[in-house]
Amino acid sequence: MIHRHEIPILEFDDNPQAVIMPTHEGLDVHLPEKCLYAFLEDEIDRFAKAVGAKQVASFVSATKTYPVYVLEHQGEEICLAQAPVGSAAAAQFMDWLIGYGVKKIISAGSCGVLVDIEENAFLIPTKALRDEGASYHYVAPSRYMEVNRQALTAIETVLKGKEIPYQEVMTWSTDGFYRETPDKVAYRIQEGCSVVEMECASLAAVAQLRRVVWGLLLFTADSLADLENYDQRDWGSQAFDKALGLSIEMVHLL
């Protein structure tokens, strides 16, 4: 049933069935239930080739074809896929993965800091402020999306087990990378957001509608903490390999 509203993005239809479903192509694809779906540039492809993971499918978009791999690891199969940046693209691909069998997902990626947090630090977002578009097509309008507790526990367990320091944070998910204005940044900080990224709210919403488990490991990259002097730093480059290895361990615990 559609809930009408003067503002289109706030109109929500709670029917999980759509005219075009993720499996509309009818592909002969059967993915493992556990998946690493990561925003790690080309690290997924490099890792998959290095360990001999098998490419079992492709997600075809208008701009790029994304390989989907399956890896035998610690006695179980894990799906590996590179996530595209941006809430709409990331939500579409993850919905497709779920359609073909994925049920338990860990994502990993970088974030910008709004407050003074060092680069390459690991964070766990427990809640996301919904300042992007995709989540509103999956879950009724609200200010925040909560992250699944089962996924949070898996992420925390791995970090604690390796004695890796981390913080739990609220993140600001936005579509407007170039519209993070000084007043908006200050407003988000006042509300309690410590970091900013582009997909957490939308992927949490996809997971909620499709009734799957999803969580996110973040590491810090650029800094907006000084509103007069933006610092891109080194984009969290030293954390990429570590985040990949940690995330695979987290997937096993789901």
Three-state secondary structure string covering the chain: CEECCCCHHHCEECCCCCCCCCCCCCCCCCCCCEEEEEECCCHHHHHHHHHCCEEEEEEECCCCEEEEEEEEECCEEEEEEECCCCHHHHHHHHHHHHHCCCCEEEEEEEEEECCCCCCCCEEEEEEEEEECCHHHHCCCCCCEEECCHHHHHHHHHHHHHCCCCEEEEEEEEECCHHHCCHHHHHHHHHHCEEEEECCHHHHHHHHHHHCCEEEEEEEEEEECCCCCCCECCCCCHHHHHHHHHHHHHHHHCC
Q: Is residue 156 part of a domain?
A: yes
This prediction's pTM: 0.97
Q: Is residue 12 part of a domain?
A: no
**Residue 31 near residue 38, CB atoms below 8 Å:** no
Q: How far is CA 192 from CA 95, 130, 144, in A?
A: 29, 13, 12
Q: Is residue 9 part of a domain?
A: no
Q: Is residue 23 part of a domain?
A: no
CATH number at residue 242: 3.40.50.1580
Per-residue pLDDT of the chain (254 residues; tens, 9 = 90+): 888 899 999 999 999 999 999 999 999 999 999 999 999 999 999 999 999 999 999 999 999 999 999 999 999 999 999 999 999 999 999 999 999 999 999 999 999 999 999 999 999 999 999 999 999 999 999 999 999 999 999 999 999 999 999 999 999 999 999 999 999 999 999 999 999 999 999 999 999 999 999 999 999 999 999 999 999 999 999 999 999 999 999 999 99
Q: Is residue 21 part of a domain?
A: no
* Contacts for 86 with CB less than 8 Å, ≥ 6 apart: 175, 198, 199
Q: Is residue 3 part of a domain?
A: no
Q: Is residue 79 part of a domain?
A: yes
| Containing structural domain, residue 179 | 30-252
Q: Is residue 17 part of a domain?
A: no
Q: For the chain, what is the domain count?
A: 1
